[in-house]
């Protein structure tokens, strides 16, 4: 799936403004309904992802996790090989 730079920026901004989505120390972290609703909202805001149609909440979460992994590896000076399917 191809992500546009604007979509990635929006994804990062959304998560940074709503840390309860990934931070277990936040009070709302355990509120699954709220997290699901926020992720559904984010998926709708991101719109479509080219030929694959609309983003799903699972795709959105996976993309965020991947961005964290890439950032952490870069911080540690590790080289990442990206596999394409």
Query: Rounded distance, CA 53 to CA 34, Å?
Result: 25
Q: Is residue 22 part of a domain?
A: yes
Q: Is residue 56 part of a domain?
A: yes
Its domain, for residue 22, covers 5-76
Q: Is residue 21 part of a domain?
A: yes
Q: Is the pLDDT of residue 80 over 90?
A: no
Q: Is the pLDDT of residue 48 over 80?
A: no
Q: What is the pLDDT of residues 10-26, one digit of tens each?
A: 988 998 899 999 889 99
* Residue labelled with tokens 């699954």: 32
**Full-model pTM:** 0.71
Q: Is residue 57 part of a domain?
A: yes
Q: Bigger pLDDT: 31 or 52?
A: 31
Q: Is residue 85 part of a domain?
A: no
Q: What total of structural domains would you count in the chain?
A: 1
Tell me what pLDDT residue 1 has.
53
């Amino acid at each position: 799936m191809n992500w546009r730079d604007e979509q990635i920026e929006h994804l990062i901004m959304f998560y940074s403004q709503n840390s309860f989505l990934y931070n277990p120390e936040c009070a709302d972290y355990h509120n699954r309904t709220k997290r699901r609703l926020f992720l559904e909202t984010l998926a709708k805001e991101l719109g479509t992802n080219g030929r694959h149609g609309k983003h799903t909440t699972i795709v959105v979460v996976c993309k965020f996790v991947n961005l964290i992994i890439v950032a952490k590896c870069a911080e540690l000076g590790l080289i990442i090989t990206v596999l394409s399917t």
